[in-house]
């Protein structure tokens, strides 16, 4: 190579580097601490509660564990709640226990102990020494699901932990564990086999060495579930677990293999013990000698055979050994020791009565049998009258969303399908006072909710899916919905719809939608008719399609259908391109609208065999490109798998692994505007990449490590909508700033970023629905997005000193280049910051006017405004486009006329204010002179004092003429009915605060009256200052008295 060629290549690389920066932008969390992610709820359906404990010495202090929503605490008996576990690496909760002799000590076991198909696993045992303010992990990291925690009341350093374990992965990390040193070390004291964990565990309330443990053998695979086996059994220890006795047929328990067992000891007579046993015939057993001998007392399947793997808890009244609570789908009560139960349950499994059924947790006050708390799939219920009436707190937002969506209304609405709580919609923000209340949310489609998809052109209508392949068209206005599920093609074909069956609307034609069984179904008339456009796209493995799932007890709820389509993604760029993923590892593609299909699975290197293709995203940039999300935790593989292809699936690149994110993957989303910006949701939180997936960071900012299941973008408003399986729905409002940094990086030391169009919202007293009062934290309010203002983002690369953080200032310019408003803020941080402009221009204010955070100037007209910010001598700017309120017909003529009237009033206010300010200043000057005269004794003191008092009285009379006479006595409430320049100015301003029509003749007349009175007053004031005041000045000057305050 010649020297000339070498130099030419170096120059080429140099200029390429300038044009295309090679250093990837990475997300640095400390630079984005002002980036807000807000929780919008909902909370009115709450979510699945798995554990409850209460401080017995102060039962107003209640702790709840949510299956995938963290630990919540109330200190006032349950009317207000706060989340206290959010900073931990998982918020999947299975057990909560309070140390009763020192309630500052709280134990939490992570990982749900009910082995359903969508259970959430944990990361060990945690402990707090300060009533939940801080937490630390104390072991059992491999346990995956902790179901019970028992604390020895006599020696609280002795704790027993019942580990259910991972139902998908046989291992030794299960059974009963014991610590005698407060959690520093652990010993496994009961273990049967690698499939068996603790289904229940109870301690004798007066003998902590006596413990019953119900071992439960169960096993899930991606395609089956078995409940029961040789590892199950009821075990009893009298010496704190040193020795255990397995109770069996000789003790009166059923012969053969057992399944899950629920246990309860009567506090009023600890010899009375109940056991709800899953066996060949599920039954309720009772012992009256402390558990040595048992008798079957009830085998009525209505009360003993209700999905025992999921509902098997019982509890006894603390003062009545015969009053037994049966805690399953309903809540039933026995008054005769379990022989019979109430024919009408205390809480029926009826969504129209009482509170949500499907119960998993129960606490009863040992000192007050009228007070108990129940928890289930729809939050908690609290009763203080033995179940006659219940209080349901609508303030715990732990909804478990499988999928979410968004419409294009303004304000837009978010949508989602919830575990056992149907499909809902609610506002992403509101133009009303207060937050996003539960009354804003609307129930659209029943059952377990999954996909919910509004029509693009009219959000009143849309699609909603539920279990068993149910698909509906809904009408938000009337509440009417109708089934549109596709039929089987013939009598011999059984359609296999997954519990969470794949669904997608066509992105270019809202009348077209796709639904997945083993086939891909297509409608072009919104569900009135369907056609099958694929062969069976699954592996169609007969071993995965058995009908006897459940082991001892068949469980066929609709969640046990496999070899089915999970994910569908039609391309927006080419309507012929559709990607499909299945629950048995197939990734399929058609490029001709379904005429032919290509199985791409073999091309994906490292793809686990028969894994779940949980999501597919067709690219918005390249029709040959797609992203897929795969999870394989059902086979004990907790690694995150996200792949990307750019060539129609011929080759794939793995985007994430255990070194880049934590938790198996649920969802991925590439920003449709900036390709470098990518988001991912995993079982342990939300993750962000700013270099197209090369590097990742967890995005927290108040967002916990919650199971993050779905993402979508409201494109008009550049907002990321985040669906979680445990903490409802969240919104990140500012994608524009992230796009800017992902595209260009933070190249400058100081930069102002673009903003979305912003609405000049009309209204002066906008009340929410229902009661306008919230009760101070007793009603949940999702965090609203501020309205009537714009938050302008700016980026400061480094704030080096406290002085540099003190202030940034700005000016707002209209289209004519006139400065109309000044803005500023203090306490600048390194990185992303926001400064607020209230979409107003400067407004004159009279002296003494009340000003608060909501006060604003004259609302600006729709149009473009330039905002110039200055920081440490550096300037940068952005354009803010203000648009009219879309709820009203816009007329520029009306808006200009209204604005002109407001400007006229502002001129009058400025004119009056200037005179009032002069009067105030002059009065202060006179007061200073009077004080000076008190210490200045001369022959002129008396006459000057008299003159000063006289001029002060004239100033008061002049001020009263402007404002009205003020009372001299103390005032409780007071109104003046005097006609004054200020009162008439206020009348005109009040009348014109809001108008949907041009100012009327009466409006203009009000302005004219105010103007006349103000002009007359200004003339009177001018006369006073030219004559009376000037004479007084001369007197003071002659007396050689200093003027302390200059005018």
Over the stretch 487-507, which tens digit does the pLDDT of each residue have? 999 999 999 999 999 999 999
Output the pLDDT for position 160: 98
Token readout for 226 is 């078995």
Distance CA 592, CA 263 (A): 59
pLDDT at 762 > cutoff 50: yes
DSSP lists the bridge partners of residue 374 as 362, 381
Clarify whether residues 936 and 1000 are in a common domain.
Answer: yes
How many residues can be counted in the chain?
Answer: 1047
Q: How far is CA 552 from the centre of its chain?
A: 39
Distance CA 174, CA 188 (A): 8
Q: State the average pLDDT over residues 69-77.
A: 97
Q: State the average pLDDT over residues 38-51.
A: 95
Give the residue from 832, 867, 889 where a domain finishes: 889
pLDDT at 17 > cutoff 70: no
Q: Is residue 951 part of a domain?
A: yes
Distance CA 509, CA 65 (A): 44
pLDDT at 41 > cutoff 90: yes
Residue 107 phi/psi, 5° resolution?
A: -110, 140
pLDDT at 905 > cutoff 60: yes
Q: State the average pLDDT over residues 47-72.
A: 97
Q: State the average pLDDT over residues 829-848.
A: 95
DSSP 196: E
Clarify whether residues 900 and 1026 are in a common domain.
Answer: yes
Clarify whether residues 814 and 947 are in a common domain.
Answer: no
Burial class (CB in 10 A: 0-12, 13-18, 19+), 579: buried
pLDDT at 701 > cutoff 90: yes
Output the pLDDT for position 2: 47
Range of the structural domain that residue 933 is part of: 893-1038
Nearest to 199 by CA among 285, 122, 102, 276: 276
Give the residue from 850, 870, 889 where a domain finishes: 889
Cα 526 to Cα 511, 518, 817, 848, 1047, distances in angstroms: 5, 21, 52, 62, 76
Output the pLDDT for position 291: 98
- Looking at the chain, the whole-number percentage of residues with pLDDT higher than 90 is 85
Output the pLDDT for position 21: 41
Q: Give the CATH number of the domain where residue 805 resides.
A: 2.60.40.4070
Clarify whether residues 897 and 1020 are in a common domain.
Answer: yes
Q: State the average pLDDT over residues 458-464.
A: 97
Clarify whether residues 858 and 915 are in a common domain.
Answer: no
Let me know: does 402 contact 417? Beta carbons within 8 Å. Answer: yes
CA dihedral angle for residue 250, residue 252, residue 256, residue 257, rounded to 10 degrees: -110
Clarify whether residues 908 and 885 are in a common domain.
Answer: no
DSSP lists the bridge partners of residue 404 as 416
Distance CA 733, CA 717 (A): 8
Residue 400 phi/psi, 5° resolution?
A: -105, 100
Clarify whether residues 863 and 771 are in a common domain.
Answer: yes
3-class DSSP string for 761-774: CCCCCCCCCCCCCC
Q: Is residue 278 part of a domain?
A: no
Let me know: does 44 contact 441? Beta carbons within 8 Å. Answer: yes
Confidence of residue 13 (pLDDT cuts 50, 70, 90): very low
Q: Is residue 961 part of a domain?
A: yes
CA dihedral angle for residue 347, residue 350, residue 351, residue 355, rounded to 10 degrees: 0
Strands (DSSP E) contained in 440-530 are: 442-445, 452-454, 461-465, 471-475, 481-483, 503-505, 513-516, 520-523
Residue 842 phi/psi, 5° resolution?
A: -55, 140
Q: State the average pLDDT over residues 682-706.
A: 97
Type and span of the H or E element at 963: helix 941-963
Over the stretch 306-349, which tens digit does the pLDDT of each residue have? 899 999 999 999 999 999 999 999 999 999 999 999 999 999 98
Type and span of the H or E element at 10: helix 3-19
Lowest mean pLDDT among 103-117, 391-405, 735-749: 735-749
pLDDT at 1037 > cutoff 70: yes
Q: Is residue 306 part of a domain?
A: no
Per-residue b/e over 469-484, b at no fewer than 16 CB within 10 Å? bbbbbbebeeeebeeb
DSSP 587: E
Confidence of residue 5 (pLDDT cuts 50, 70, 90): very low
Token readout for 940 is 């002129």
Output the pLDDT for position 1030: 94
Clarify whether residues 901 and 1020 are in a common domain.
Answer: yes
CA angle 423, 424, 427 (to 5 degrees): 155
Tell me what the pLDDT averaged over the chain comes to: 93
Lowest mean pLDDT among 260-264, 518-522, 931-935: 931-935
Instruction: Give the count of domains, the chain.
Output: 2
Give the residue from 840, 857, 889 where a domain finishes: 889
Output the pLDDT for position 973: 80
Distance CA 948, CA 942 (A): 10
Output the pLDDT for position 503: 98
pLDDT at 24 > cutoff 70: no
Output the pLDDT for position 1044: 53
Clarify whether residues 907 and 980 are in a common domain.
Answer: yes
More confident residue, 648 or 1039: 648
Output the pLDDT for position 646: 98
Lowest mean pLDDT among 15-29, 891-905, 990-1004: 15-29
Lowest mean pLDDT among 75-89, 911-925, 968-982: 968-982
Lowest mean pLDDT among 22-26, 90-94, 818-822: 22-26
Q: State the average pLDDT over residues 74-93.
A: 96
Confidence of residue 765 (pLDDT cuts 50, 70, 90): low
pLDDT at 22 > cutoff 60: no
Over the stretch 529-573, which tens digit does the pLDDT of each residue have? 999 999 999 999 999 998 778 899 988 888 889 999 999 999 999
Output the pLDDT for position 462: 97
Output the pLDDT for position 297: 98
Please provide the distance, in angstroms rounded to a whole number, between the alpha carbons at the two ends of the chain.
83
Over the stretch 714-731, which tens digit does the pLDDT of each residue have? 999 999 999 999 999 999
Q: Is residue 48 part of a domain?
A: no
Let me know: does 70 contact 728? Beta carbons within 8 Å. Answer: no
Clarify whether residues 878 and 903 are in a common domain.
Answer: no
Over the stretch 276-286, which tens digit does the pLDDT of each residue have? 999 999 999 99
Q: Is residue 868 part of a domain?
A: yes
Clarify whether residues 880 and 981 are in a common domain.
Answer: no
Over the stretch 599-649, which tens digit does the pLDDT of each residue have? 999 999 999 999 999 999 999 999 999 999 999 999 999 999 999 999 999
Look at the alpha carbons of 375, 381, 387, 388 in this order and tell me if their dihedral is positive or negative. Answer: negative
Clarify whether residues 796 and 849 are in a common domain.
Answer: yes
Q: Is residue 811 part of a domain?
A: yes
Output the pLDDT for position 697: 96
Q: State the average pLDDT over residues 203-218.
A: 98
Lowest mean pLDDT among 150-164, 708-722, 965-979: 965-979
Q: Which residues contact 849 (CB under 8 A, 6 or more apart)?
A: none
pLDDT at 15 > cutoff 80: no
Output the pLDDT for position 245: 98
- Looking at the chain, the whole-number percentage of residues with pLDDT higher than 70 is 97
Output the pLDDT for position 977: 86
């Amino acid at each position: 190579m010649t020297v000339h060629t070498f130099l030419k290549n170096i120059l080429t690389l140099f200029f390429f580097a300038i044009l295309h920066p090679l250093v990837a932008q990475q997300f640095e969390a400390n630079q984005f601490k002002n980036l807000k992610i807000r929780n919008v709820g909902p909370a009115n359906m709450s979510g699945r509660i798995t554990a409850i404990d209460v401080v017995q010495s102060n039962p107003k202090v209640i702790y709840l564990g949510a299956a995938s929503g963290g630990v919540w605490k109330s200190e006032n008996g349950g009317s207000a709640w706060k989340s206290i576990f959010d900073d931990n690496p998982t918020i999947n909760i299975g057990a909560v226990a309070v140390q009763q002799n020192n309630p500052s000590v709280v134990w939490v076991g992570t990982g749900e102990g009910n082995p359903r198909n969508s259970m959430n696993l944990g990361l060990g045992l945690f402990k707090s020494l300060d009533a939940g303010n801080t937490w630390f992990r104390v072991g059992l990291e491999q346990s995956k699901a902790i179901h019970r925690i028992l604390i020895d009341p006599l020696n609280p350093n002795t704790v027993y932990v019942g580990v259910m374990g991972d139902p998908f992965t046989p291992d030794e990390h299960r059974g009963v564990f014991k610590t005698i040193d407060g959690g520093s070390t652990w010993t496994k004291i009961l273990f049967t086999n690698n499939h068996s964990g603790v289904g229940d565990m109870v301690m004798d309330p007066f003998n902590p060495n006596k413990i019953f443990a119900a071992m439960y053998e169960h096993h899930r695979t991606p395609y089956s579930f078995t409940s029961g086996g040789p590892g199950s059994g009821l075990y009893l220890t009298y010496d704190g677990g040193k020795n255990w006795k397995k109770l069996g047929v000789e003790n009166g328990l059923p012969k053969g293999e057992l399944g899950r067992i629920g246990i309860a000891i009567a506090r009023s007579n600890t010899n009375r013990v109940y056991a709800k046993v899953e066996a060949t015939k599920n039954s309720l057993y009772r012992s009256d000698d402390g558990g040595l001998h048992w008798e079957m007392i009830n085998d009525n399947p209505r009360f003993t055979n209700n999905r025992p793997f999921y509902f098997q808890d019982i509890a006894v009244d603390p003062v009545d050994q015969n009053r037994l609570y049966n805690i399953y789908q309903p809540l039933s009560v026995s008054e005769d020791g379990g022989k019979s139960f109430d024919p009408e349950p205390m809480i029926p499994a009826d969504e129209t009565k009482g509170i949500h059924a499907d119960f998993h947790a129960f606490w009863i006050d040992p000192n007050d049998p009228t007070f108990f708390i129940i928890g289930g799939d729809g939050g908690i219920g609290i009763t203080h009258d033995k179940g006659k009436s219940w209080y349901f707190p609508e303030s715990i937002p732990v909804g478990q969303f499988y999928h979410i969506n968004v419409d294009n209304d303004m304000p837009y609405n978010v949508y989602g399908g919830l575990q056992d709580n149907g499909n809902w919609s609610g506002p992403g923000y509101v133009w009303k006072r207060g937050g996003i209340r539960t009354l804003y949310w609307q129930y659209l489609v029943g059952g377990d909710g999954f996909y919910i998809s509004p029509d693009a052109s009219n959000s009143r209508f849309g699609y909603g899916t539920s279990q068993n392949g149910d698909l509906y068209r809904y009408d938000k206005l009337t509440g009417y919905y109708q089934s549109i599920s596709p039929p089987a093609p013939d009598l011999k074909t059984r359609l296999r719809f997954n519990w969470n069956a794949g669904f997608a609307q066509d992105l270019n034609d809202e009348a077209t939608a796709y639904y997945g069984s083993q086939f891909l179904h297509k409608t072009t008339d919104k569900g009135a008719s369907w056609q099958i456009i694929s062969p069976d796209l699954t592996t169609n493995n007969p071993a995965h399609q058995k009908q006897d799932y459940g082991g001892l007890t068949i469980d066929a709820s609709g969640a046990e259908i496999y070899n089915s389509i999970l994910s569908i993604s039609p391309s927006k760029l080419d309507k012929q391109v559709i990607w499909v993923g299945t629950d048995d590892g197939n990734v399929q593609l058609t490029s001709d609208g379904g005429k032919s299909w290509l199985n791409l699975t073999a091309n994906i290197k490292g793809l686990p065999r028969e894994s779940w293709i949980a999501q597919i995203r067709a690219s918005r940039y390249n029709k040959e490109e797609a992203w897929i999300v795969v999870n394989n935790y059902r086979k004990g593989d907790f690694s995150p798998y996200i792949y990307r292809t750019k060539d129609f699936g011929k080759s794939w690149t793995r985007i994430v692994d255990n070194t880049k994110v934590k938790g198996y993957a649920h969802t991925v989303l590439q920003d449709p505007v900036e390709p470098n910006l990518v988001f991912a949701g995993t079982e342990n939180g939300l993750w962000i990449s700013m270099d197209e997936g090369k590097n990742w960071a967890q995005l927290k900012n108040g967002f916990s490590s919650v199971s993050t299941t779905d993402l979508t973008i409201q494109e008009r408003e550049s907002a990321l909508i985040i669906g979680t399986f445990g903490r409802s729905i969240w919104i990140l409002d500012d994608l524009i700033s992230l796009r800017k940094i992902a595209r260009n990086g933070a190249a400058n030391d100081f930069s102002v970023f673009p903003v979305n169009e912003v609405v000049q919202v009309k209204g002066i007293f906008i009340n929410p629905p229902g009661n306008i009062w919230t009760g101070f934290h007793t009603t949940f309010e999702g965090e609203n997005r501020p309205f009537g203002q714009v938050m302008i983002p700016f980026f400061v690369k480094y704030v080096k000193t406290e002085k540099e953080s003190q202030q940034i200032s700005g000016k707002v310019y209209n289209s004519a280049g006139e400065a109309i408003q000044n803005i500023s803020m203090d306490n600048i941080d390194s990185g992303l910051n926001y400064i607020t402009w209230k979409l107003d221009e400067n407004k004159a204010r009279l002296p003494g006017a009340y000003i608060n955070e909501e006060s604003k100037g004259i609302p600006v007209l729709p149009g473009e405004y330039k905002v110039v910010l200055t920081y440490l001598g550096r300037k940068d700017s952005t354009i803010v486009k203000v648009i009219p309120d879309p709820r009203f017909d816009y007329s520029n003529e009306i808006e200009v006329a209204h604005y002109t009237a407001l400007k006229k009033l502002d001129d009058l206010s400025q004119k009056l204010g200037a005179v009032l300010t002069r009067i105030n200043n002059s009065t202060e000057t006179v007061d200073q002179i009077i004080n000076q005269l008190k210490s200045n004794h001369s022959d002129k003191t008396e006459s000057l004092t008299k003159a000063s008092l006289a001029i002060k009285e004239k100033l008061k009379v002049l001020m009263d003429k402007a404002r009205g006479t003020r009372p001299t006595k103390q005032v409780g409430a007071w109104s003046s009915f005097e006609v004054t320049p200020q009162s008439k100015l206020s009348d005109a301003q009040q009348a014109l605060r809001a108008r949907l029509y041009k100012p009327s003749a009466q409006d203009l007349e009000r302005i004219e009256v105010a103007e006349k009175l103000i002009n007359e007053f200004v003339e009177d004031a001018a006369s006073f200052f030219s004559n009376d005041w000037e004479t007084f000045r001369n007197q003071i000057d002659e007396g050689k008295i200093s003027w302390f305050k200059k005018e």
